[in-house]
Structure 1
Amino acid sequence: MSSVEGIPKSEPVVLLVEDDVFVRFTTSEMLREEGFVVVEAVNAAEALALISTGLEVDIVLSDVRMPGEIDGVALTAKIKTIEPLLPVALVSTHLPPDVKHEADAFLAKPFRVAELLELVRSLVGTEWLSKRSSLAAS
């Protein structure tokens, strides 16, 4: 898992990319209460800057519509170029069915806490980590 200084390796690190301060705060608190370490970014540019500095994360949760030149779909594509095995989940009120994306999952807003936690656990749990390890080895 993560090797960020000061963060134990056993705690998954979530990079939450959300421009709405209320949604970002409540989502990060939900995750922290369940033991996840949460790093927050207000837009795609900030998320990419964090990743480029070497921040190791276990999952990226990103809104689709954000201010700036890069939306969540384009952010996902950039992340998959840099870190192809890093799980990315898009979280938004709506993702048109014709929008092609490389995200590993989509969660519709508004969501229940249980739905969010189930999604994150499924993408950072042992089954997913085993899959990532086998893909990285091939």
Structure 2
Amino acid sequence: MPTVLVVEDEALIRDLISEELVESGFDVLQVSDANQAIAVLEARQDIHLVFTDIDMPGSMDGLKLAAAVRDRWPPIHIIITTGKARPMTIPPNALFIPKPYLTTAVISAMRTFENMR
């Protein structure tokens, strides 16, 4: 099963998307900010995809997290989301899904990546 790291500071949103991903056959890890995400990525070798919100408290937002993931862990897939305007730039090979999103759309997008089926 592919492992997805969900990075979302809103607990309800984080729990809802995580539950749907588990029901769709993914292993899911949850964190509430980018610093926790980096710690998980440094500790584990089995993360296939990072699903991150842009607007989060802490030392970096989701765009900076996505850039760090692309630089340090290039094989990890990235999906970025926000309820605000689409960012001007996102890391290469990352996908953007605007909020509010349908979980089915997120899962379909995840399955387009290699090794995520």
Q: Given the two structures, how large is their TM-score scaled by the length of structure 2? A: 0.91
> Where does the alignment leave 5 or more consecutive residues of structure 2 unmatched?
none
Whether 2:103 is the aligned partner of 1:118: answer no
Runs of 4+ with deviation above 3 angstroms: none
- Tell me the CA shift for residue 50 of structure 1: 0.5
Structure 1 residues 68-118: Cα deviation after superposition (integer angstroms, max 9, x where no partner): 110000001111111112111101112445x32206100111111220110
Alignment partner, residue 102 of structure 1? 91
Greater CA radius of gyration, 1 or 2?
1
* Relative contact order higher in (CA < 8 Å, ≥ 6 apart): 2
Amino acid at match of 2:112: S
Whether 2:30 is the aligned partner of 1:40: answer yes
Name the structure with the higher helix share.
1
Alignment partner, residue 58 of structure 2? 68
Counterpart-to-counterpart distance in 1, 2:50 and 2:75? 11
Between 12-21 and 112-121, the greater mean CA deviation after superposition: 112-121
Counterpart-to-counterpart distance in 2, 1:95 and 1:102? 16
Between 108-117 and 20-29, the greater mean CA deviation after superposition: 108-117
Q: Mapping of 1:48-87 within 5 angstroms? A: 48-87=38-77
- C-alpha RMSD of the superposition: 1.3
Tell me the SS of whatever aligns to 1:94: coil
In the comparison of the two structures, how many residue pairs are matched?
Answer: 114
Counterpart-to-counterpart distance in 2, 1:84 and 1:75? 13
